[in-house]
Each structure stands twice: as C-alpha cells, then as structure tokens.
Chains A and B, each alone.
Chain A
Amino acid sequence: MQWSAKRIARSPLWLLFPIGVIYGTLAVMPLALIVRFSFAGGLKQYRAVLASPLLARIAENTVVVSIITTVVAVLLGYLLAAALWRSGPRLRVLLFMLVLLPFWTGVLVKNFAWAALLQDNGVFNELWLVISPTHKALPLLHNRLAVIIGMVHYVLPYAVFPIYTVMLSIDQRLERAAKSLGASDFSVVSRVIVPLTLPGVYAAGLLVFIISTGFFITPVILGGPADMMIANLVDFYAHQLVDFNRAAALAVLIVVVVSVLVFIYQWCPKEGQYGKA
C-alpha cells in the first residue's frame, strides 16, 4: 500500500496523529524503559526477583485474596444483576443508581469509609461492644478480611454489568417454554436461567480477577503488613529499596501475566454464546 503524503492527508487517518504522539511518548517509551531497566545485567534481575521468598509469599497472597474476592463478588453480583433484571422500570432506575454511586465514588473515599467503619472505635465495634460480654473490640481492621471487604466493595459493579448484559439477552419465551413443559420455578432457574447466564458469570469472574490482582491502595489502608499484594511489591522495590531494575523486572512479569488473562478474557464469550436459536 502506498502511503503517500497526499493519501494520508485525504484520508481521516491523520486524526490518529494526536493519539499516536501521546501513546508513543507517554505509553510506549515508559514501557520500553521498564523493559530496558529490567534487562540491566542480562537476566540477573529476573533471577533475583523470582528467587526472592518475598515474591512467593506475596504472589500467593495476591492470588488467594483475588480468588476469594472474585467468588464473593460474582455471587453477590449475580444476585444484584438478577434483581435489576427482574425489577420494574422505576425500581430498576433506583437500583442502578444504588449500584452506580459506589462505582463513581473514588477508591480512596471508599477505603477511608471502610477504615472508619472497621476501626476499633468504628461503627461495627461500637455496636459490638454494646452486646459483647467481654467489652473487647474485635480486630476488624488491618487484616485480610478487611482487604477483602474493601476489594469486593470496589469490584462489585464490575461483576454486575457483564452478568446483567447476558441476562438481558435471554429470550423471555424460554422461561415460558420451560413452564409449559412442566418446569417448576426452581427448575426454570436451575436448568434454564443459570446455565444460560454462565458465560456472563465467567466473563465477570475473569474481569473481577484481573482488577483484583492490580489492587494497590486497599491492601495498604485496610490491610496489615502481611497483606501486601503484588502491586505493593513493585512500589516496595522502587521506593523502599530504590532498586528500579528489580522493580522493572517485576513489572514486566506482571504485565505478562495480566496480558495472558486479558487475552483469555477477550476470547471468553460474553453474550449470545449459543446464537439466536
């Protein structure tokens, strides 16, 4: 193909110029720099990162917390999506607002609120002290549970929307057909609706998992020292150890893993898996 100057000027592809400049300088260059730093001294940095017992512990923590978050968020998200799907138009607008407001609230605001709720003289503990015989506050903050509570709260809207989209694509006649064939309400749900929404559940789970693995702020504010996640480790290498080569190597590893997950997500059918039959 001939890319003469005239041809480019006539085709609106020149409109890609601004985004090209921005991405070229502010995305490609930084990522290239990371790769360059990571290969300082050959594979030495990677070896050091992978051999570190810190990585193994933090990676395990990241995966476990992300999986729990994903499972809880998808279960609750399914419930919310079903409620949205089954409510009348007015109630649906209200419920949408209820889902969207936390979505728009910043992660800092939400985490601050959870910290205020879960701390020793927070709402839950003050209520607990009223009924508790021992008058000792429960350790709710700075542990894994607090991190999961905060993370599920953040990712829940991301779990609701893919499932809700799939529910909307279900032909309402299928339900009637099932009933006419003798299915009870329970059978309609278990044999027709749940199987048909599974693609949405998978998509939501993968999306939530990808988001969960990238958490940085929540483990710091709501978690304790042992609740560090993988993103915090990059920060730890860069700011505490001031070892940018090692931070870069870890960053490259993260990008590789996330790319694989994103690739799977792209291939995961999101709606109409079975076509319109």
Chain B
Amino acid sequence: MARREACESGRTPLSSPASYRGLRVSGRCLLLLACIPVFIYLMLPTLIIVPMALTKGQIIQFPPIWISVHAFADYFKDSQWIDSTIISFKVSILAVCIACVAGSSAAIALHGKTFFGKGAVVGIILTPMVIPLVVLGLGDYLFFTYVQLGERWLEIGLAYSVLVTPYVFITVQAALAGLNPLLARSARSLGAGSASVLYHVHWPTIRPGIAAGAIFAFAVCFDEVVIALFLQSPDATTLPVRMFTSIQYELTPKIAAVASLLLSLASLALLAQAFLPRQRLSPR
C-alpha cells in the first residue's frame, strides 16, 4: 500500500518523455489539421443553404439581408411548385414500394444459395446502379412512347423502381448476412410452410434492411433529374426537374427555400439511418 502511494506521488518520470509523446501526438494532429480545409469544403455548401433562404431580398446574394421567411412563403403559395412536390412524393413512394418488394424478395431468394451463375445474377440485379442515368432515361422514354400508361407520374415511378431496387437488395442482403440459412431449413423441418418461413424467419431479420434501403431509395428518387427530364410532361414535372430548370434560369431565394427543405429531409434520413436498430436475431 505504501508503495502504491509512493508511486502515485512520484508519477513524474526520471527523465521526461514529454518531447517524445508530443512528437507522437503531433503526427495525428497534423493529419487532422490538414483535413480541416477538406471538411470545410465538404460542409460549406450545406451550411450556406439555410442562411441564403432566410434573406429578405429577391435574389441570392452575399451577405444575405436577414431575416425573413418570405422565400418559404413564396414556395408554399406557388401552386406549380406544390404540385411538383406532390408529384415527387407520389413518384418516390411508388418506386420505393415496388423496389422493396422486388429487392427484398430477390435477396431472400438468393440467401444461402450457392449455384453456378449466382454471381452473374447478383451482377444483373446491381446493373441499374452503373448504367448512366442518361441511358436509362433515353430507354425509358422510348419504351413509354410504345407502352403508354396515360399517367406520366406512373411512368416516372416505374422507371425509378428499377433504379432503386439494387439499393434495397443490397441492404436486405446485408441484413440477411447475419441469418443462418439453416434456420429456414430447420423451420421447414419443423413443419412450417413457405409463407410461415417467410413471416417467422425472414421478415423479422430483413425489416431493418428494408427500412434502410427504403430510406436511401427515397432519397435517390427525390433527387433524380435525368430520367424525369426525359419523361416529364406539363402535368408531371417533379420537384428536382423544376429546381433544375429554375436554377439554370435564375438563383432565387425560393429555390434556396426548397433546397433547405430537401436538406432537412436528407438530414432526417441520415439520422434515421444512423439510429435505425441493427439487431441480429440469429445466434452467432
């Protein structure tokens, strides 16, 4: 005991290691310091959007004339912009629903299977992620001139469903990675039919995966311009398309207001995904 106290009181070492420790820490500090400008570069656009939207003026300027919410009011009063917003919601929800069904059922179908060509099947499922949007947009335009559904927003939604199915597939596949494929077999051996296996074994496992994939898919749909540009019509102009065309014309506080709302949506999605429960139900 006495020794321990002696040690505590005498913590200063005989010859100081301070310089050495300082040197060691400084390598990391230097790295973080070098990163600060990069982080400013990353964050700067995100940070200026809301201040820009709160200006009293009629144009985007610096420094903004604070503080007014007239830009937000302009947006909510403008029926064209509100219609576009509604279209965007309709389109995104339709696409996300289709993607959730198609993507998660495909992930379950391939779970735990090994067969020749599985890699190719997965590759095909992921293909829409790497096809340039402009190619998809052109193809969808040509396709829907042959197959006319009458409702343009339906067409855009269907076109988006292919675009975002890979995201749901990936997240559900990741959620299923923790599930022992033998569990489905053992449930079957205990008398469960296909439907019960799906409901009791797969569904609880994939729920967080579907949620994560759906959030990301929604974010992608709500930001997509190129395909919507090809498929747009006067009564089906999505919010991104309206923003895109307005930005080319003029930078107005109204667009800044819409951008702020989109930004808050993105932050919500990011938070939702960060705090989504990631339980693993299968024993390791």
Contacts and interface: CB of A to CB of B under 8 A. Distances in A.
A/B touching: CB–CB < 8 A: yes
A102 interface: yes
B105 A15 contact: yes
Interface residues of B, number: 80
Contact of A27 (B34, B127, B141, B247): B127
Contacts of A181: none
Interface string A100-113: 11101111111111
Interface string B254-278: 0110010011001101100010000
Contact of B42 (A10, A98, A239): A98
Contact of A104 (B139, B146, B247, B266): B266
B44 interface: yes
B43 A102 contact: yes
B225 A80 contact: no
A216 B46 contact: no
A79 interface: yes
Given A108-B223, A112-B256, A214 B32 contact: no
B134 A235 contact: yes
B62 A16 contact: no
A214 B134 contact: yes
A255 B132 contact: yes
Interface string A12-32: 111111110111001101110
Interface stretch (A43-51, A53-61, A117-125, A163-171): A117-125
B223 A107 contact: yes
A122 B42 contact: no
B138 A113 contact: no
Given A33-B146, A106-B222, A238-B141, A111 B247 contact: yes
A140 interface: no
B28 to A, nearest CB: 5
A213 B102 CA distance: 29
B210 interface: no
Nearest to A210: B130
Contacts of A238: 138, 141, 230
A97 B42 CA distance: 11
Given A86-B31, A108-B240, A244-B142, A255 B52 contact: no
B159 A79 contact: no
B182 to A, nearest CB: 14
Interface of A: 10, 12-19, 21-23, 26-27, 29-31, 33-34, 37, 76, 79-80, 82-83, 86-87, 95, 97-102, 104-117, 119, 121-123, 125-126, 153, 156, 185, 210, 213-214, 216-217, 220-221, 231, 234-235, 238-239, 244, 247-248, 251, 254-255, 258, 262, 266
Those 9 A-B pairs whose CB atoms lie nearest each other, nearest first = A30-B139, A113-B45, A106-B223, A15-B109, A15-B105, A231-B134, A214-B132, A19-B102, A19-B106
